[in-house]
Amino acid sequence: MSPNQPLLPGSTLGVLGGGQLGRMFVHQAQAMGYFTAVLDADPDSPAGLVSHHHIQTGYEDPQGLAELARVADAVTTEFENVPAAALAALAAQRPVSPAASAVSVAQDRAREKAHFVACGVPCAPYAVIETAEQLAAVSPDLLPGILKTARMGYDGKGQVRVKTPAELAAAWDSVGQVPCVLEKMLPLQLECSVIVARGADGAMVHLPVQRNLHRDGILAVTEVYEGNLPPALAAQAVAAAKSVAEGLQYVGVLCVEFFVLQDGSLVVNEIAPRPHNSGHYSQNACDVSQFELQVRTMARLPLTQPRQHSPAVMLNLLGDLWFTQGDAAQIPPWTDVLALPGTHLHLYGKRDAKRGRKMGHLNITAATPEAARATALKAAALLGIDAF
């Protein structure tokens, strides 16, 4: 088959990683008539439980990778920390998107920052710290700052706030003196993100700019409607996200996260080489969701510009909601929540609720932004989520 020929329904699409993003990808692929294969070592992985094929091995297991290449016509990933070497090995036999080269940039904050600079996209002032000499040479202008491990950090993990050179040195010791990036702390007004999809032919589409609220380093609320950000700022974010994707020659769905500073300027924070929590609203508020875009990019189907038909709010549902009455898990009041108009519940099929664990999300759609927000606040109150 020609590498540019579309993979039509009836083909098998494979995904490395069995978490909730893989599960939602599998559901979307199946809805479009594809067979699916998941590689994940966990026998109870959310995606593995609903897929046609579940290959229960680690990401670097040669036999597992060979089996995935045998059953799948193309492969993607749902998790940025899948070893880039595994993607590269699969790419020798099957189309893989995103490519190992792009994922490896997203896996290393130092390379990620360098890529932003190369693309001309502004980011926070930073310094790479890999040696004691680099630590000693850090400019005082970067303090106070946030020390972030260069690899394996997400949802606020691997990050330490520091105010003085002594605190910086202690923080670097506390993370094991692994390679890190120190970012200057900037006066933030809000956070936002853009999801772009880029095809192998270079075609690119995007979802509307998402306004995000994080709590304890984890996305809590996303609000998407016309006017959620000033139009010029939204256009700047979209252009920057497309520049980042183009610079990587990216194929697939990419989320680019931004900070909006107190002065109204925009700086890029980080990228996620996959669908993203902040794009979940698209399942119910857009005519093409982020997961359909993922299917289309990997199957080399045409990309059409998604249209948002309803203002939307997304609430992240963490395992804490199961423990609002104490230490014994209680099922949240889904009946009361679903009695609210425009509520759409998405649970991830995880057997056990744990504090801090992503268990699902709630999308709220309405005819107006005000109505969506009002309903979302009612749902939050029912669930024990802090108002926003």
* Span between the terminal Cα atoms of the chain, in Å: 51
Share of the chain above pLDDT 70, in %: 98
- pLDDT at position 282 over 80: yes
pLDDT in tens, 121-177: 999 999 999 999 999 999 999 999 999 999 876 656 678 999 999 999 999 999 999
Comparing C-alpha atoms, which of 298, 206, 286, 289 is closest to residue 252? 298
Q: What is the mean pLDDT of the chain?
A: 96
Handedness of CA 82, 88, 91, 95 (dihedral sign): positive
In this predicted structure, what is the pLDDT of residue 67?
Answer: 98
Residue 386 pLDDT exceeds 90: yes
Domains contained in the chain, CATH given = 12-96 (3.40.50.20), 125-184 (3.30.1490.20), 188-383 (3.30.470.20)
* Rg of the chain (C-alpha set): 21
pLDDT of 232-266, one tens digit each? 999 999 999 999 999 999 999 999 999 999 999 99
Could you tell me what percent of the chain has a pLDDT over 90?
93
Q: Which residue numbers belong to the known binding site for ATP?
A: 109, 148, 153-159, 183-186, 191, 214, 269-270
pLDDT tens for 197-220 read 999 999 999 999 999 999 998 999
pLDDT tens-digit profile of 338-361? 999 999 999 999 999 999 999 999
**pLDDT class of 81 with cuts at 50, 70, 90:** confident
Q: What is the pLDDT of residue 244?
A: 98
Would you state the pLDDT for residue 157? 67
Predicted confidence (pLDDT) per residue in 313-335, tens digit:
999 999 999 999 888 999 999 99
Question: Residue ranges for the binding site?
Answer: 109, 148, 153-159, 183-186, 191, 214, 269-270
Torsion of CA 315, 317, 323, 325, to 10 degrees: 30
- Average pLDDT, integer, range 269-291: 97
Q: Considering the entire predicted model, what is its pTM?
A: 0.95
Residue 326: per-residue pLDDT: 83
